[in-house]
Every structure is written in structure tokens, then in C-alpha cells.
Amino acid sequence: MSVMDGRRQSLVVTRFLTVGVAVLVAALALTVATDAGAARAARQPTFKEREAITLALPAWLRGYPVGCVWLGMSVSNNGRYAIVAPGFLNATHRPCVKYASNGYWILKRSSTWKVIFNGSVEPPCSLGVPRDLAKCSH
């Protein structure tokens, strides 16, 4: 085996492991966010709510290719809070592999939707997120 073959094989293994870890982390984040949104009777957003929530998300996220990410959304029963967890489709294939990540957003509606939390752990209780949408940490 030549030095180039060894380097090429090393790059392939490294890329495979990186993609595998990214997919696992994204799946875990989606599971946590989905559990937080679905198991506590939060509802799916209306079309108008989904549109407004999507517009409140960062522009770089809205720019992801449609075939690479799905935005899972739930709205609290009082309609004032929403949780958005990206689900990464085709995360092991180009060009989608570069978009895979973890985390989720919590938004609050006053006159418009605003992001109040972005992370991959439970939000602080001080944000006042309803329990039908997410647990909080003290």
C-alpha cells in the first residue's frame, strides 16, 4: 500500500466517523425535542403559525436545502411558545452532510415570534416555557 492510499483510507475513515457522530447527535437532539413537544400534548402549528415561526428562525437555517432538513415544530397549548427541532434528512450524503448538527430553538410570540432559547439541553425555568412544550432546568 502506498502512502497516498493510506492517507486516502484515513480520510475516508475520518469522514465516516465524523458523519456518524453528527447523525447520532442530531438524532438524539431530535428525540429530546420531539419528546418535549409531543409527549405533553402540545399541538402542531397552523400553516400561518408555521410560516411566521420559520421566518423568525436564523436566516442561515432557512437557507438550508429543502432536501437536507425538515423543521419539526410544536406550539404550546396557550399558543404563545413554540419549539423547533431540525430533522436532518440524507445527513450522510452530499451536500447535506455539512448541515447536520444538534440543538433546537424555543420561540415566544408577543406581536411577532422571537427566538428566546437555542440549545441542546433543557431551557432555564426563568424563560417561562409551558410544561406542555418542554421541561426546564433550575
Would the pTM of this model clear 0.85, i.e. be above it? Answer: no
pLDDT band at 91 (very low <50, low <70, confident <90, very high): confident
DSSP string, 45-72: PPHHHHHHHHHHS-HHHHTS-TTTEEEE
> Which pLDDT score is estimated for 25?
44
Q: Where are the domains of the chain?
A: 3-127
> Which pLDDT score is estimated for 4?
56
Q: Which tops the pLDDT comparison, 3 or 60? A: 60
Task: Assess whether pLDDT exceeds 80 at residue 63.
Answer: yes
Digit-coded pLDDT (tens) for 77-88: 999 999 999 998
Task: Assess whether pLDDT exceeds 70 at residue 33.
Answer: no
Burial of 130 (0-12, 13-18, 19+ CB in 10 A): middle
